[in-house]
């Protein structure tokens, strides 16, 4: 790595960027992998313990409604009268998440129902975009399993956002994000028997997508892209973390391959051409695949596309600048061939003739005009002019003598000494003399677009 010096305030501002830019490619991979692990730790909340729903009981101070369903035909509300007791579970924005004491109804109501009664109770905050991603196959297996009960879904997956009574049965609407075979995100409404076992379910389209991760990939990445209701930390807590979360995890496999190449032995027998193609594919396809997952999480497709596109361009540029065959073809160490010395050959003289155009005289000049009318492919009309004819061109001929020396730069692998060379010619002296002049007729033909 180059030693960097700070000579001005401007140098101090850009020092971190210059430092990262001048790191060897394996140290860049270590830095990138570290950022990914920290972001994954934030998403998985390993730096803090998640909260749980509260169980505070408060009486309503005014009449109102408790929404107990959101999607399609499950849209419903329960009437709440002044003095009715509700169990407060959490706060979500300006809404209170609550349920009746008999747990027959659960949903969201305006905080005006309680006015200031909920303040000071220390109820947790529920994340608005919480959801548990699951493949359609795993969801169907879960629903068909006789051991699946309401309490199991509550404790092992996600709480029912809405509950309402349905005779002796009850209905729960969940933030389970079920991916179907087309990549669409479906939201289930599950009907339970009186003993809390699953009686049936209906899937409602929640978000449309064109790319399906499928099983088992969706279930593998689910812990990373799911947002739990009460998780302590999240990459979406501020804009900087959100940008980092969109950019860096997409390069995870690229970082891993670079570090495996650095370790040398795991990929020693893989040809360099295969490694090079793999890295080129990962630096593009990895961020694109991760961008698809971010859109599935509910982020703006336009915003994710712009950030991901910029990340791919910068990643490809950095890889290209760090690239010089990448691995030594002999010992397979991930080290650049270092410059060692320059050797110069014996100078020699190159002799030849060259011509220079002095002037042109037009002998014959014709113009043809063509108009193109609007069409289905181009709604504008255009005018083209074709110029053709003859001209006389005058040339001066010169004889030249160049004294040339070939300089050869030698590069060597610092591990095994494998070398490569790069040659360039240096002109030591140039001399030319006028020989003669002549002229000849030449045809010309070109087209101009006027509008």
The residue whose two tokens read 């053709």 is 388
Give the separation between CA 369 and CA 437, rounded to whole angstroms: 37
Give the separation between CA 68 and CA 161, rounded to whole angstroms: 8
Give the separation between CA 61 and CA 342, rounded to whole angstroms: 88
pLDDT at residue 239, rounded to an integer? 86
Structure tokens that stand for 285 in this block: 């396809």
Mean pLDDT, rounded, for 279-289 = 93
Give the separation between CA 165 and CA 193, rounded to whole angstroms: 11
Any idea what the Cα angle at residue 286 is, between residues 280 and 290, rounded to 5°?
Answer: 160
Mean pLDDT of the chain, nearest integer: 86
Cβ atoms of 163 and 118 within 8 Å: the answer is: no
pLDDT band at 288 (very low <50, low <70, confident <90, very high): very high
Return phi, psi of residue 200, to 5°.
Answer: 175, 175
- In 209-326, beta strands by DSSP E: none
Number of CB atoms found within 10 A of residue 83's CB: 10
Between the alpha carbon of residue 446 and those of residues 69, 141, 383, 385, 427, the distances in Å are: 71, 71, 14, 8, 37
pLDDT at residue 6, rounded to an integer? 62
pLDDT at residue 86, rounded to an integer? 87
Structure tokens that stand for 376 in this block: 């289905």
More confident residue, 209 or 2: 209
Tell me the per-residue pLDDT of 18-59, one tens digit each, with 9 for 90 and over. Answer: 777 778 888 889 999 999 999 988 888 766 566 678 778 888
pLDDT band at 120 (very low <50, low <70, confident <90, very high): low
Contacts of 160 (CB under 8 A, 6+ apart): 106, 150, 153, 154, 172, 173, 174, 190
Q: Which of 422, 426, 429 is nearest to 406 (CA)?
A: 426
Mean pLDDT, rounded, for 7-21 = 67
Give the separation between CA 120 and CA 254, rounded to whole angstroms: 49
Could you tell me where the DSSP H helices lie in 145-207? 150-156
Maximum Cα–Cα distance across the chain: 112
pLDDT band at 414 (very low <50, low <70, confident <90, very high): confident
Q: Which of 407, 377, 408, 391 is nearest to 443 (CA)?
A: 391
Helix (H) or strand (E) holding 361: strand 348-372
Helix (H) or strand (E) holding 429: strand 419-449
Tell me the per-residue pLDDT of 238-270, one tens digit each, with 9 for 90 and over. Answer: 889 889 999 999 999 999 999 998 888 788 888
Mean pLDDT, rounded, for 90-97 = 85
More confident residue, 142 or 234: 142
Q: Report CA Rg, the chain.
A: 35
For every residue of 52-74, DSSP letters joined together read ----EEEE-SS-EEEEEE-SGGG
Return phi, psi of residue 16, to 5°.
Answer: -60, -40
Question: Quick check: 121 pLDDT over 80?
Answer: no
pLDDT at residue 321, rounded to an integer? 77
Between the alpha carbon of residue 383 and those of residues 365, 448, 450, the distances in Å are: 19, 9, 5
Question: Quick check: 374 pLDDT over 80?
Answer: yes
Could you tell me where the DSSP H helices lie in 115-206? 136-144, 150-156
Give burial (CB, 10 Å; 0-12/13-18/19+) of 218. Answer: buried
Give the separation between CA 17 and CA 11, rounded to whole angstroms: 10
Question: Quick check: 3 pLDDT over 60?
Answer: no
pLDDT at residue 328, rounded to an integer? 85
Give the separation between CA 101 and CA 344, rounded to whole angstroms: 92
Cβ atoms of 81 and 62 within 8 Å: the answer is: no
Mean pLDDT, rounded, for 189-194 = 92
The answer to pTM > 0.95 is: no
Mean pLDDT, rounded, for 79-93 = 86
Break the chain down into helix, strand, coil percent, rounded to 5: 30, 40, 30
């Amino acid at each position: 790595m180059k030693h960097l010096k700070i000579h001005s305030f401007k140098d101090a501002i850009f020092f971190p960027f210059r430092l990262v830019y001048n790191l060897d490619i394996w140290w860049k991979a270590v830095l990138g992998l570290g950022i990914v692990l920290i972001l994954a730790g934030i998403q998985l909340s390993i730096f803090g313990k998640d909260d749980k729903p509260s169980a505070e009981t408060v009486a309503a101070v005014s009449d109102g409604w408790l929404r107990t369903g959101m999607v399609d035909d499950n849209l419903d509300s329960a009437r709440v009268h002044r003095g009715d007791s509700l169990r407060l579970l959490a706060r979500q924005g300006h809404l209170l998440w609550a349920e009746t004491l008999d747990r027959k109804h659960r949903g969201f109501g305006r905080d005006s129902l309680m006015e200031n009664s909920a303040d000071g109770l220390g109820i947790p905050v529920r994340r608005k975009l919480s959801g548990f991603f699951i493949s359609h196959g795993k969801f169907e297996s879960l629903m068909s399993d006789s051991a699946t009960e309401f309490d199991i879904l509550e404790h092992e997956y996600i709480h029912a956002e809405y509950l309402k009574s349905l005779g002796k049965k009850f209905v729960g609407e969940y933030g389970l994000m079920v991916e179907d075979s087309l990549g669409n995100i479906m939201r289930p409404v599950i009907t339970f028997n009186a003993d809390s076992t699953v009686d049936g379910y209906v899937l409602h389209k929640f978000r449309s997508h064109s790319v399906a991760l499928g099983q088992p990939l969706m279930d593998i990445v689910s812990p990373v892209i799911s947002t739990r209701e009460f998780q302590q930390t999240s990459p979406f807590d501020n804009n900087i973390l959100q940008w980092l979360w969109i950019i860096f995890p997409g390069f995870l496999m690229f970082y891993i391959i670079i570090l495996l190449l650095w370790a040398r032995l795991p990929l020693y027998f893989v040809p360099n051409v295969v490694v090079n193609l793999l890295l080129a594919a990962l630096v593009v396809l990895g961020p694109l695949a991760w961008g698809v997952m971010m859109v599935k999480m509910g982020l703006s497709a336009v915003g994710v596309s712009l950030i991901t596109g910029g990340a791919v361009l910068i990643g490809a540029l950095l890889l290209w600048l760090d690239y010089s065959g990448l691995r030594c073809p002999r010992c397979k160490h991930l080290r650049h061939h270092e410059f060692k010395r320059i050797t110069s050959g014996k100078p020699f003289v190159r002799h030849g003739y060259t011509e220079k155009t002095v002037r042109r005289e037009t002998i014959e000049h014709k113009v043809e005009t063509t108009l193109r009318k609007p069409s289905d492919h181009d709604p504008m009309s255009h005018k083209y002019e074709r110029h053709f004819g003859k001209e006389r061109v005058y040339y001066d001929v010169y004889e030249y003598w160049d004294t040339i020396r070939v300089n050869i730069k030698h590069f060597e692998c610092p591990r095994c000494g494998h070398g490569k060379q790069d040659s360039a010619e240096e002109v030591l002296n140039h001399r030319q003399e006028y020989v003669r002049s002549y002229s000849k007729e030449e045809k010309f033909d070109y087209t101009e677009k006027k509008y």
